[in-house]
């Protein structure tokens, strides 16, 4: 489903080129639960952003469901992000002064086919992550773990092919971390494709397959 071949990424800042990714090849099948591991500064977030169509590689190939992603324009990439991916970030990235419900509904604003009963759908996903009684709370009124669960509900509402999680438990205590990982396990059992980026061995171990990133290359 995801075919990445010989991806390179070079950042140029003040005319100094820094190569972050040195030719990475990954293939992820539908329904897989994959962890990308590595210590900080190994380019795992960059790789994640490239997979999520938020960033473009300097070189290489990326085919998603048979579509050459690197040939798409900005609008098409936006549509792809909306339809194919559900993002879960380390900093949650919920809108402040916006209720949990409204946050979950956000991806539906930019979808091409607005579903009937959108609010019931959002309520269903909020209930899935155990937050049905927090639907009218503003995001900034929720704890970190609750915010991350809202983010997961938001990632799921558009029924995406892939959940992309970038250090999803990086800002959470062990209790919340366990809850989030439990949710991921459940989603995996339901047949969803999950890619988690983490530096935490304990988090990575929940995945079926671990890819270790070191110095911009996949180890082994």
Partner 1 sequence: MTRIVRIARESFRMARNNRLRAFIMILGIAVGVTSLTMIICVSQGVYKEVMDTVNRQGPDLLQVRPGSDKHTGLPSGSREVVSLIEEDVDAIRQHVGNIVAISPVKDRKEIEVKGGDNFTLTRVFGVAPMWDQIRDFGPHRGTFISEEDVSFAARVCLIGQTVKKNLFGEADPIGQTIQIKDVPFTVKGELVWKGISSAGRDRDDRIIIPITTYTKRLFRDVHLTQIVITVEDIDYLNKTVEDVSAVLRERHKLAPGEPDDFAMRTPQDLIDMAYGASRSLINLLTGIVGISLLVAGIVITNIMLASVSARKGEIGIRRALGARKNDILQQFMIECLFISLMGGVLGTILGYVGSIILSSMNVAASNVTPLAFVAAIITCSLIAVIFCIYPAKKAANQNPLDTLRA
Query: Shortest Cβ distance from residue 137 to partner 1 (Å)?
Result: 15
Per-residue contact track with partner 1, 111 to 140, x per CB under 8 A? xx-x--------------------------
Q: Which of 10, 39, 78, 140 binds partner 1 (CB under 8 A)?
A: 78
Query: Shortest Cβ distance from residue 83 to partner 1 (Å)?
Result: 7
Nearer to partner 1, 82 or 198 (CB): 82
**Which residues, listed in sequence order, are joined to residue 99 by a DSSP beta bridge?**
138
| Distance from C-alpha of 199 to C-alpha of 39, rounded to nearest angstrom | 5
Q: Which of 58, 61, 98, 185 binds partner 1 (CB under 8 A)?
A: 98
Verify binding: residue 203, partner 1, rule CB under 8 A: no
Query: Shortest Cβ distance from residue 109 to partner 1 (Å)?
Result: 4
| Distance from C-alpha of 200 to C-alpha of 70, rounded to nearest angstrom | 31
Contact region with partner 1 (CB under 8 A), list: 15-23, 64-72, 73-81, 185-193: 73-81
Q: Which of 52, 60, 145, 168 binds partner 1 (CB under 8 A)?
A: 52
Verify binding: residue 83, partner 1, rule CB under 8 A: yes
Query: Shortest Cβ distance from residue 142 to partner 1 (Å)?
Result: 16
Verify binding: residue 87, partner 1, rule CB under 8 A: yes
Verify binding: residue 58, partner 1, rule CB under 8 A: no
Verify binding: residue 54, partner 1, rule CB under 8 A: yes
| Distance from C-alpha of 80 to C-alpha of 72, rounded to nearest angstrom | 9
SS3 letters across the chain: CEEEEEEEEEEEECCEEEEEEEEEEEEECCCCEEEEECCCCCCHHHHHHHHCCCCCCCEEEEEECCEEHHHCCHHHHHHHHHHHEEEECCCCCCCCCCEHHHHHHHHHHCCCCCCCCHHHHHHHHHHHCCCHHHCCCEHHHCCHHHHHHHHHHHHHHCCCCEEEEECCCCCCCHHHHHHHHHHHHHHHHCCCEEEEEECCHHHHCCCCEEEEEECCEECC
Query: Shortest Cβ distance from residue 2 to partner 1 (Å)?
Result: 18
Binding interface with partner 1 (CB under 8 A): 49, 52, 54-55, 74-75, 78-79, 81-83, 87, 89, 93-95, 97-98, 102, 106-112, 114, 154, 158
């Amino acid at each position: 489903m995801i075919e990445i071949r010989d991806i390179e990424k070079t950042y140029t800042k003040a005319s100094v080129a820094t190569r972050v990714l040195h030719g990475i090849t990954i293939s992820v099948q539908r329904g897989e639960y994959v962890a990308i591991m590595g210590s900080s500064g190994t380019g795992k977030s960059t790789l994640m952003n490239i997979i999520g169509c938020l960033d473009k590689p300097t070189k290489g190939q990326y085919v998603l469901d048979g579509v050459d992603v690197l040939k798409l324009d900005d609008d098409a990439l936006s549509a792809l992000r909306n339809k194919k991916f559900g993002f879960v970030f380390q900093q949650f990235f919920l809108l402040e002064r916006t209720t949990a419900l409204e946050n979950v509904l956000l991806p539906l604003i930019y979808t091409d086919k607005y579903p009937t009963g959108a609010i019931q759908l959002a309520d269903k996903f909020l209930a899935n992550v155990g937050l049905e009684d927090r639907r009218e709370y503003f995001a900034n009124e929720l704890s970190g773990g609750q915010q991350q669960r809202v983010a997961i509900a938001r990632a799921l509402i558009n029924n995406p092919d892939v959940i992309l999680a970038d250090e999803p438990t990086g800002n959470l205590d062990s209790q919340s971390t366990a809850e989030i990982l439990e949710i991921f396990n459940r989603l995996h059992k339901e047949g969803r494709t999950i890619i988690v980026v983490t530096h935490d061995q304990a988090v990575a171990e929940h995945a079926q397959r671990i890819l270790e990133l070191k110095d911009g290359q996949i180890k082994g």
